[in-house]
Structure 1
Amino acid sequence: MFKILSVKKRVVDRELSNIIDQQIKNLEFAMPIKYFFSAGGKRLRPIMLILSAQSVGGRQSSVLQLAIAIELIHNASLIIDDIIDEEEERRGSMPLHKKYSNKEAVIIASTLSALAIKLATKYGVEVTKFLSEIALRLCEGEYLDYNKSSQYLTEDDVLLIIKNKTAALFEASTFLGALAGGGSSYEVKALREYGFNFGMAYQLLDDLADLKNHRKIAHNSMIELRPILPLIFFIRHYDNERIINKLTSKNITFDEYNYILKMMEENGSMKYCEHRIKDFIDEAIRSLYPIKNSKYKELLVSLAQYLPMLISK
């Protein structure tokens, strides 16, 4: 599976590079855009769009530019995420807003979104309209994520944020791939459901991995906890006001974090999140039942089954 994904990634990277070179060569801010994309990426969303198209009989070449449109929207959202979260690193490099400025980063995010819509118009009104709706959902998810306090969030709130951010783009990838690939209405519906459930599992798993990886942070670091599912579960099921107040504060120390992490493991917060991840993965695989058997369907199934390995790569 990973060998095929690597081949697909090279195809996407090559097309992305060509489109970026063609579209930005006359722009004064071409260098920041090239800098941003030089950090690379998994290209998982465009790969899933291509596989979805091929699973319903479509050709890779016919949906390649649509796959790039999805990747551009995704990267535009990452730039905005980094600004809002005041990130210091992106894919092992300095994020765009740190390398240049917040203002330049916002302009580049807007440019990538505009280019994505331009590419999508080649595929018709329905595709362009759906991509625009997904962009609006991303904005809504970002706003909810930024404006909600962990202390007052419910599990439904957390899942809604994921639905409108991460899951929205995976859902768009598989839906648009199936649509542009010529899939029937039931195939398009099945692949859309697959992408949604895959995206929900992906973000929950990514959040859980980030939570555990804080063990690697230096002892003198302050840690800011994001409102993620295991944290919300812990707040709702742990009766200790002092700990909860500390947990919902802006920053906690390394030692405080490790103590709270231990408590979260003991009260079942981590295990609960793992169960929810499994539920979404199982539902993603079940969603593919109407799709006829092929190597492309098998790859989509494998992507869901080996999702933990994809997150760690």
Structure 2
Amino acid sequence: MSPAAPPARRSNTLSSSLGLGEKLFASSEERRFAKAIEDGLEQVEAGLHREMAFSDDLADVTSRYLLEAGGKRVRPVLTLLTAQLGGGNNAEVIAAAEAIEIIHLASLYHDDVMDEAQMRRGVASAQTVWGNSVAILTGDLLFARASKLVASLGVEAITLQADTFERLCLGQLHETIGPRPDEDPIDHYLQVLADKTGSLIASAAKMGVMLSGAPAEYREPVVAFGEKIGVAFQLIDDIIDLSPKPEQTGKVAGTDLRAGVATLPLLYLRRLATTDAAAAALLARIDRDVTNPNPTAEDDADLTSAITELREHDVTRSTLDEAHRWSRAAVADLAPLPDGPVKKALTRFAESIVDRSN
């Protein structure tokens, strides 16, 4: 089966990926910078369809299922963006951007199995279509394909990828097992987010600096930025998970909660429930309906109502405040970078992350 042609990219890809409006880039230098990112992303998009094609008919369909469902390509854009701190786009930077996105896509196949998610990017999740085994093996195939790409980039890139794989797996393991008896559940959760989401975004940013010949002193700031912005990104996803608009989120409201995933609003509610009777009552309803092995339509309606209450509760506003805190800290980490379009774009990206909940 021949691979499908890549879908046409919109001309405002940089804007849609990082929340960067055209007015942000006013000077001719900044417009050249934006065009370099756009041109690089077109190469990455074509490369993704090439690299994710398999001679096996089934693997060819399943591996590109989520790729063709959409996505903003945030991680490859960050790789291309930080590469502008050095020599800009080159073959290695493009390959790294492709590999990072393939790793991200592979992790989605596995995450949806672990979370028993029914929807992803507005379509039925892969395991809903083909079953858990096919979804897991498809993720494994994509991890292997990403590894082949990274193998051409040298020992440092291979080591970075291996370290990132380790953190991705540890993050999922710790999320699955939960906090230790002596561990604060909220601290545990934030570390899970740093491992599961922040580590890959940090790697995307570091790859751009490493492979473009940018000064070595820029590596630590972009890694710190990437990890913190990854946590902020996921905290906003916790809020979006409660959204009643599946046509925008691609998921049913409360997908994570329904799967038993304790997101930050729920963790805040659980802490508040020790001293607040109303919070305790809402928590009891959520716990009862989530753990009910044979829910009725009435039970599902009550859970939907409880999710609505949680969305409007102060604990969700506290989650938004926490996301803003991480975003501000990420921007502060950019201080050592030179002023210019890269720093401006990263700063705007951090701001746009926390605007997604509006």
What TM bracket, shorter-length normalisation?
Answer: 0.7 to 0.9
Q: Tell whether 2:200 aligns with 1:154.
A: no
Secondary structure of the corresponding residue to residue 213 of structure 1? coil
Q: Which residue of 1 aligns with 2:29?
A: none
Aligned 1:164-243 pairs, distance under 5 A: 164-213=195-244, 223-224=258-259, 226-238=261-273, 239-240=276-277, 241-243=280-282
Q: Which residue of 2 aligns with 1:17?
A: 49
Which deviates more, 4-13 or 230-239?
4-13
Deviation at 1:121, TM superposition (A): 1.5
Contact between 1:223 and 1:257, CA under 8 Å: does it hold in 2? no
From 136, 152, 175, the counterpart of 1:122: 152
Deviation at 1:263, TM superposition (A): 6.2
Q: Which runs of 5+ in 2 are unaligned?
A: 1-10, 17-37, 292-298
1:172/1:108 CA distance change after superposition, 3 Å:
same
1:211/1:102 CA distance change after superposition, 3 Å:
same
1:142/1:263 CA distance change after superposition, 3 Å:
closer
Secondary structure of the corresponding residue to residue 140 of structure 1? helix
From 320, 329, 333, the counterpart of 1:274: 320
Contact between 2:327 and 2:354, CA under 8 Å: does it hold in 1? no
Larger % of helix: which? 1
**Letter of the 2:191 counterpart:** L
Q: Tell whether 2:294 aligns with 1:284.
A: no
Contact between 1:41 and 1:91, CA under 8 Å: does it hold in 2? yes
Deviation at 1:77, TM superposition (A): 0.7
Contact between 2:221 and 2:336, CA under 8 Å: does it hold in 1? yes
Cα RMSD of the aligned pairs, angstroms, is 3.0
Distance (whole Å) between structure 2 residues aligned to residue 156 and residue 198 of structure 1: 17
Contact between 2:235 and 2:319, CA under 8 Å: does it hold in 1? yes
**Letter of the 2:192 counterpart:** I
Moved over 6 A (4+): none
Q: Which residue of 1 aligns with 2:95?
A: 65
Which deviates more, 291-300 or 273-282?
291-300
Distance (whole Å) between structure 2 residues aligned to residue 153 and residue 210 of structure 1: 23
Secondary structure of the corresponding residue to residue 234 of structure 1? helix
**Letter of the 2:168 counterpart:** L
Contact between 2:225 and 2:330, CA under 8 Å: does it hold in 1? yes
TM-score by length of structure 1 reads 0.86
Q: Which residue of 2 aligns with 1:94?
A: 124
From 20, 29, 37, the counterpart of 2:59: 29
Deviation at 1:26, TM superposition (A): 5.5
Distance (whole Å) between structure 2 residues aligned to residue 215 and residue 18 of structure 1: 31
Q: Which runs of 5+ in 1 are unaligned?
A: none
Q: Tell whether 2:343 aligns with 1:297.
A: yes
**Letter of the 1:280 counterpart:** W
Distance (whole Å) between structure 2 residues aligned to residue 42 and residue 299 of structure 1: 16
Q: Which residue of 1 aligns with 2:352?
A: 306
Q: Tell whether 2:302 aligns with 1:255.
A: yes
Aligned residues: 306
Residues 201-244 of structure 1, C-alpha deviation per residue, up to 9 Å, x if partnerless? 000011112124379969xxx94552111211111112335543
Contact between 1:55 and 1:294, CA under 8 Å: does it hold in 2? no
Higher relative contact order (CA 8 A, sep 6+): 1
**Letter of the 1:244 counterpart:** L
Q: Tell whether 2:78 aligns with 1:48.
A: yes
Deviation at 1:28, TM superposition (A): 5.8
Q: Which residue of 1 aligns with 2:295?
A: none
TM-score by length of structure 2 reads 0.76
Deviation at 1:60, TM superposition (A): 4.7
Deviation at 1:257, TM superposition (A): 4.7
Aligned 1:104-115 pairs, distance under 5 A: 104-115=134-145
Deviation at 1:159, TM superposition (A): 0.3
Which deviates more, 302-311 or 136-145?
302-311
Distance (whole Å) between structure 2 residues aligned to residue 18 and residue 47 of structure 1: 18
Which deviates more, 281-290 or 293-302?
293-302
Distance (whole Å) between structure 1 residues aligned to residue 246 and residue 142 of structure 2: 35
Secondary structure of the corresponding residue to residue 87 of structure 1? coil
From 74, 77, 102, the counterpart of 2:107: 77
